[in-house]
Structure 1
C-alpha cells in the first residue's frame, strides 16, 4: 500500500530549512508528481513517524498544504490529496503561456554572463534530478529556473503571479515519465531556451516557452500531446 511506502520518500531532513518547510516541500513534490495520488489520505501520526519528527511540524506542513489547495482535511481521518481537473490544468497552461512566453522576446540577447551561468547550472540540475527521479529536487530547480528567467523582465508583480500559478499545477505523469526515460527530452528544453536567449532569438525562445509550458497539460500530466 502507498501509506506503507511513504517512508521510502521521507528523505533525511537538513538543518538549512525548518522542519515544516522540508516536510511541506517533500510532500508537495510527490503530490505534484503523482507519487501520492488524488484521494489518498495522509495522517499526521504516520508521517511524523516516517520523517522521524514530532507531530507539530508535520501538522503545520499539512495545514499549509491545505491552504495551497493540495489537501482537504477530513474530520477524524487526516488529509485527502485534492485533484486538479484537466480543464483546470488547461486553464493554468493558457494563463502561464500568456504571462511567460511574450517576455522572452524582450529579454533575448540581454542576459549577462552571471545569469547565463546560473541558468545553465539549473538546467543541468533539472536533467540530473529528472534522470534520478528526484522529484523534490527536479521541481525546485525547475521553479528556480523559470522564475530566474522571468525575473529578467523586471516585473515583480508578474513574477509573484507566475510563482502562485506554479504552486497550483499538478504534473501527475512525472513518475511514469521517469520510468520510461521520457522526462529527459522535455527537461533538456531548459538548456535549449538558454541557448536561444543567449543567441538573441526572441521569436524562437517565445515559441519554445509556449511548447514547454504546454507539457503541463500534456506529457507531464500523463497525457498524449499528439
Structure 2
C-alpha cells in the first residue's frame, strides 16, 4: 500500500502532509484563511507521538481509550483536510504513509479512513489505499436542495411553537459562526455552522432528524472536483450574517422572513 501511495505522488499528485509534519505549499491551500486553518490543524494533532522514541514507557496497561482518542483526532484532522482541499478529489492515500506523517501507526488512520468511506468522502482502492471521492457541482446542488427540503419546514414549524427565550439560547452559537467566518478558515467555519444548525434542529426533539441533517451538512462541505475548494472569507461572513438575521426572524415569529432567509441560506450553500 505504501508503494502505491508513493507512486501516485510521483505521477504528479501534490503531496499532502499531516498537521505537524512539513506543510503543503501555500499555493496549494484554499481560500484566504490558510493561516487560521494551519493554527487549527496544529491544535488538532497535538496527538502526534503515539509511539514516541526515547520516552520511557509508563508502567501498567495502556488506557483502552487511547486508540479511540487518537483515531478521533486523526478523523477530525482528515475532515479538516477534506474541507480545506488539502486532500484533493481523485488523490489516493495509503494508511501506512499517512500514519508516518501523523507519527502514529497505520491502524487508527485506517479506521478513520474507513469512517470517511462510510460517509462517502473516500472510496477504497484495493492494494493502494483510499481515493478522495470526485464530486461535481450537481451533487453539491442536490445536497443543498435536500437540506432545504428537510430543514426549512422544520424551521417554520419551530417558529410557530418555540418561545423567544429558547431561541436566545442559540445566539452564542450564531455569534460563534460570525467569529469563525472572520477567521477565513473553511474548516473552522464548517464546524461552527454545523453546531448552529444542529442546535436549531434539536429544538424539534427529533434525534433522527438531527443525525440525518448533520450527515447531509458534512457532505455538503466537501469541495467539488475542479471547482473552488470552498467559499472565500467574504462568502463565509455573509453566510454567518444570515444566521443572525434568521435567529432574529425566529424570535419575532416572522414566518415569511424565516422562509426567505432559510431558502436563500441553502441556495448559497451550493
Pairing of 1:37-186 with structure 2 (within 5 A):
37-108=88-159, 110-113=162-165, 115-117=167-169, 119-172=170-223, 173=228, 175=230, 177-178=232-233, 181-186=234-239
Q: Conserved in 2, the CA contact under 8 Å of 1:71 and 1:80?
A: yes
Question: CA deviation digits over 1:22-53, x for unaligned, max 9?
Answer: 21122123313434221122232332233332
The equivalent position to 1:3 in structure 2, one of 15, 29, 35, is 15
Matches within 5 A, 1:193-208: 193-208=246-261
Give the drift of 1:197. 0.8
After superposing the two structures, state which structure 1 stretch, 61-70 or 5-14, moved more.
5-14
Question: Which is greater in Rg?
Answer: 2
Range 187-196 or range 21-30, more displaced: 21-30
Gaps of 5+ in 2: 1-12, 24-37, 48-64
Indicate how the Cα distance of structure 1 residues 212 and 122 shifts in structure 2: closer, same or farther if over 3 A, else same. same
CA distance in 2, matches of 1:195, 1:115: 9
Spell out, residue by residue over 1:199-224, the C-alpha distance to the aligned partner (whole angstroms, 9 max, x if none): 2112211221111111221xxxxxxx
Count of residue pairs the alignment pairs up? 214
The 1:35/1:113 distance shift into structure 2, 3 A limit, reads: farther
State TM-score, norm by structure 1: 0.81
The farther-off stretch of 125-134 and 63-72 is: 125-134
SS in 2 for 1:3: coil
Question: Match for 2:81 among 27, 30, 38?
Answer: 30
- Could you report, residue by residue, the CA deviation over 1:88-137 in whole angstroms, capped at 9, with x for unpaired residues? 222222221111112222222624535523x2222222222222233333
TM-score by length of 2: 0.69
Q: CA RMSD in A?
A: 2.6
Distance 1:190 1:50, change over 3 A: farther
Q: Which moved more, 1:107-116 or 1:44-53?
A: 107-116
Stretches of structure 1 lacking an aligned partner (at least 5 in a row): 218-226
| Structure 1 contact 174–183 (Cα < 8 Å) conserved | no
The 3 A distance-change label for structure 1 pair 81 and 102 is: same
